[in-house]
Amino acid sequence: MPQPRGFGTSTIFSAFWQPTIASANKVLGDVPISSRDLRETLAFARQLLYHRNKSVRRRVSTASTVGDEHRAMIPESHSLHALFGELIHFHFDRDVGLRDSELQDYLVNMLAEFCEVEQLFKIRNANDRPLDDVGEMLLETDPIYGPAPSFDRERQVRKHIGDYTLFLTGMFPESINRFRLRRQRLENFVDFIKAGKESYFIVSKFDQFEYAKLAPLFGKLSHEFESCVYGLNLVKGDLDEMQHPISRRAREIVM
């Protein structure tokens, strides 16, 4: 069977990742017996859907809390949102003990947003070069002595640093040292956890006018950064076990 292209454009994956047991059963029945790995993947995810339907789960609803903070190119109706929402809610409620729907929904949107490479490297410098070095991003945040033209720009870049470091430490921690071994980078001297916590904390201090509603959320992200990393590690483990194409493609990008 050819490998799926993009994010689930293969018939099997695009049909399966609709979050219903019926579609999972149908796809599982269509898979040849010889396709052992794929059958195990589908069976595992069918079990996940079964447990989701056994419990009273809340749907991912971010319009009232996230606002314009995440304009993901993948729409909320896409099955990836349902998949990420299921895994995030399950692990953060059961394993992490961080039962905060606003924070969980933010992380679901962050994962969906970073499915697009352009969003992962959306911060650009004055020469329009995408930045993938956290050290360079930190320099970009300075509105007094650095290149940031305004405090709004400082907040934008700080928010991205928080998201970027949380995404890498949570979903692809093995990529961090690989980045640093490739060449001399400013981030060689940066503690990702500290940079992420600090950046979210600074964003939380933008608590006036249009930023007031979301300021407490970023305070929680800063305070619970390590717990969020742990929760995303568990999500990563599930995606790896499912052998989901989103995990493979993202690993190719960051590694």
C-alpha R_g of the chain = 19
Please give the Cα distance from 103 to 176 (Å, whole number).
Answer: 24
Counted residue by residue, the chain has a size of: 255
Task: Give the pLDDT confidence score for residue 239 in this predicted structure.
Answer: 87
What is the model's pTM? 0.70
Phi and psi torsions of 238, nearest 5°: -65, -45
Q: Which of 254, 249, 215 minimizes the C-alpha distance to 65?
A: 215
Q: Which of 114, 222, 98, 104 minimizes the C-alpha distance to 158?
A: 222
Task: Give the pLDDT confidence score for residue 186 in this predicted structure.
Answer: 72
Q: Please give the full DSSP string across 107-160, using - where no structure is assigned.
A: HHHHHHHTTSHHHHT--B-TT-PBP--HHHHHHHT-SSSSS--SHHHHHHHHHH
**29 CB burial (10 A radius; 0-12, 13-18, 19+):** exposed
pLDDT truncated to tens, each residue of the chain (255 aa)?
333 333 333 322 333 334 444 444 544 454 454 445 454 555 555 555 544 444 334 433 433 344 445 554 566 667 788 899 999 999 999 999 999 999 999 999 999 999 888 899 999 999 999 998 899 999 999 999 899 999 999 999 999 999 999 999 999 888 777 655 556 667 777 889 999 999 999 999 999 999 999 999 999 999 999 999 999 999 999 988 876 555 555 555 554
Phi and psi torsions of 228, nearest 5°: -65, -40
Please give the Cα distance from 227 to 225 (Å, whole number).
Answer: 5
**96 CB burial (10 A radius; 0-12, 13-18, 19+):** buried
Lookup result for tokens 């809390």 = 65
How far are the Cα atoms of 43, 57, 217, 233 from residue 47, in angstroms, in the given order?
6, 15, 32, 20
Q: Which of 72, 106, 112 minimizes the C-alpha distance to 89?
A: 106
Task: Give the pLDDT confidence score for residue 244 in this predicted structure.
Answer: 52
Task: Give the pLDDT confidence score for residue 252 in this predicted structure.
Answer: 57
Q: Is 102 helix (H, G, I), strand (E, B) or coil?
A: helix
